[in-house]
Structure 1
Amino acid sequence: MGGASDSNLLPPGFHFFPSDEELVVHFLRRKASLLPCQPDIVPTVCMNHHDPWELNGKALEAGSQWYFFSHAKQSRATPNGYWSSVCADETVLSGGGGCSVVVGLKKTLVFSTGEPSDGAETNWIMHEYHLLDGRTGGSSSSSSASSIHSSSKKSHHPNTVRSS
């Protein structure tokens, strides 16, 4: 399954608004392990083939955000720009209280149009999630899950999706 139209196949009242922990543990980990995800609604997208405003219909649209999987080793360049990291990675924890363990990393990226040497930053923001390899503590290179949305601070493209 995949695509915004697949959300129409879900039961009435279904609301997809996962936490960082749920994205990593229940979706990304299963996808990287080639296990079925239930519901299987988050599609795989080749990031370097699409600018962010072209993802409508290719990614799961949930409110003001789009969700999709992509391979972590893919280039972050697109036909009209590139994604670049804007802050330090955050850890994603699983479990409550004093028993929390780090299960992944969350990276925040912003989309810029043009070439890296003279690009213009846009209002598109992506959160990229990575699994941590439990044996080595390093990043897994199998897959990443992404959530992408347009910030309401700026408007550079007429088809922006507003975040709440």
Structure 2
Amino acid sequence: MELPPGFRFRPTDVELVNHYLEEKIAGRIKSADEVISEIDICKSEPWDLPGSSLIKSDDSERFFFSPKDQKYLTGNRSNRATKAGYWKATGKDRMIGSISRVPTIRGTKKKTLVFYQDCAPRGRSH
């Protein structure tokens, strides 16, 4: 997809949840037909992510639909190991509200995933 000069895809957290995620869950949009591709981020190396984005740009921020993969069947811990390292969550979860007049909590968003090369806990930040 070729974008005009100056175009930036910068949706707010609320727009991401209310428009893109809810529409995808409801089956009203297919990610390949839109601007957000679907990949398993936690199994991807960071250097592969720019090529997986549907919007080609020099921007360092990318958006993807990604399934949540649990490390253990009985827990909530995510499996974020890749062949070259692992993704580690940092920061606190932020609450995402709705667009409607009555504020409601629609979801949470992890602030940041940082990639570390090699095995935990001695990985090097990338």
TM-score band (shorter)? 0.7 to 0.9
Q: Provide TM-score, normalisation by structure 1.
A: 0.59
Q: Which segments of 5 or more consecutive residues in structure 2 lack a partner in the other structure?
A: 71-78
Q: Any conservation in 2 of the 1:45–1:59 contact (CA below 8 Å)?
A: no
Bigger relative contact order (CA 8 A; separation at least 6) = 1
1:31 is aligned to 24
1:103 equivalenced with 2:106 (yes/no): yes
Deviation string for 1:29-50 (max 9, x for gaps)? 2112222169712111122442
Query: Residue 18 of structure 2 aligns to a residue in which SS?
Result: helix
How many residues in Structure 1 have an aligned counterpart in Structure 2?
114
Give the structure with the larger strand fraction. Answer: 1
**Cα gap change, 1:121 to 1:13, in 2 (>3 Å):** closer
Does residue 18 in structure 1 map to residue 11 in structure 2?
yes
Alignment of 1:82 onto 2:86 = yes
Report deviation, 1:118: 1.2
RMSD: 2.6
Question: Per-residue CA shift, 1:102-159, capped at 9, x if unaligned?
Answer: 111010221111111211122xxxxxxxxxxxxxxxxxxxxxxxxxxxxxxxxxxxxx
Q: Secondary structure at the match of 1:55?
A: helix
Distance 1:88 1:113 in 2: 23
Determine what percentage of the aligned residue pairs are the same residue: 35
